[in-house]
Amino acid sequence: MPMDLSFAPFSGVGVVTLYKRDANGAVTTAGWDMGEASALKLSTKSPSAEMNTSRDVSRGTAFRWAQSKTGGVEITCKTLHDQLLALLTGGTWTDVAAAQALASWAAPTVEVNQVVRLPGKNYVSITSVVDSSGTPKTLAASQYDVDLVAGTIKFKDITTGGAYVQPFKVTAPAGNAYRTLGALKASDSEYLLTFAGTNSVDGKRVALEAYRIRFDGENDQDWITEDAGTYTLKGGVLKDDTRQASDAGGQFYAIHRPS
């Protein structure tokens, strides 16, 4: 097949997908579409080592030799899903059972506008908040704000209808089950990366595979932003020893185009 030597700018669009490699380096499960990826960058690295001479005052380079070739990868995403969150945090998702019902649970002593954390999360409702007097007084729902998912109560007014005797006591039915991502608890994993792309300038297709990706453990997560957040994964493209150096696609990554 002849080389394509036509001149055209390249402005790529397409779908980035990750497939988890097993302990043997094989891909045996379905992958994850990474959503809106605004940038995909690959880099090649061919480091070298040097030794300076001590035979004359120049101390110039006497020897230089090549080190192992490697590559780098960077993916910038603008949409967020559970798998991307797990990769960003080095975390593991776990299904958590529903919080138990609260029966006159005693809150810490509070002042106006302080927030109390309940024993669980994702509650269905708060039945009542009462004080600890001999004849308990009930706070009106307008006197506090409840975040049922986060499991918090903010006390806005602890005067109206009082005087109150603290601690306030909270009664609530059992909550609903939820999912929790525990950060920095996942074991390191490796992935096959694919890019199903198109040059938006001329419509020509391109496909890319990076056979063995390992992501770095350092990144940022935008949780409060005025614009849509961006989420960047960085890592290395490693040599895939399950492939032969003589394979058409080599052992690091390959770019494919139609003939």
pLDDT tens profile 200-257: 999 999 999 999 999 987 778 888 888 888 899 999 999 999 999 899 999 999 999 9
Of 159, 176, 193, which residue is a domain's last?
Answer: 176
**Is 26 inside a domain boundary?**
yes
> If you average pLDDT over every residue of the chain, what do you get?
90
- Residues 224, 200 share a domain: yes
**Is 237 inside a domain boundary?**
yes
- Residues 90, 104 share a domain: no
Mean pLDDT of 45-56: 83
Phi, psi of 230 (to 5 degrees): -120, 145
- Residues 110, 38 share a domain: no
β-pairing verdict for 32-33 and 37-45: unpaired
Alpha carbon 185 to chain centroid distance? 13
- Residues 111, 221 share a domain: no
**Is 4 inside a domain boundary?**
no
pLDDT tens across 108-134, in order? 999 999 999 999 999 999 999 999 998
- Residues 169, 127 share a domain: yes
Of 176, 203, 229, which residue is a domain's last?
Answer: 176
The total number of structural domains that make up the chain: 2
- Residues 251, 193 share a domain: yes
Of 176, 193, 222, which residue is a domain's last?
Answer: 176
CA dihedral 85, 91, 92, 94 (to 10 degrees): -80
Among the ranges given (5-9, 67-71, 125-129), the one the predictor scored with the smallest mean pLDDT: 67-71
**Is 90 inside a domain boundary?**
yes
- Residues 143, 79 share a domain: no
Domain span at residue 127 reads 98-176
Q: Helix, strand or coil for residue 17?
A: strand
- Residues 238, 139 share a domain: no
Alpha carbon 155 to chain centroid distance? 34
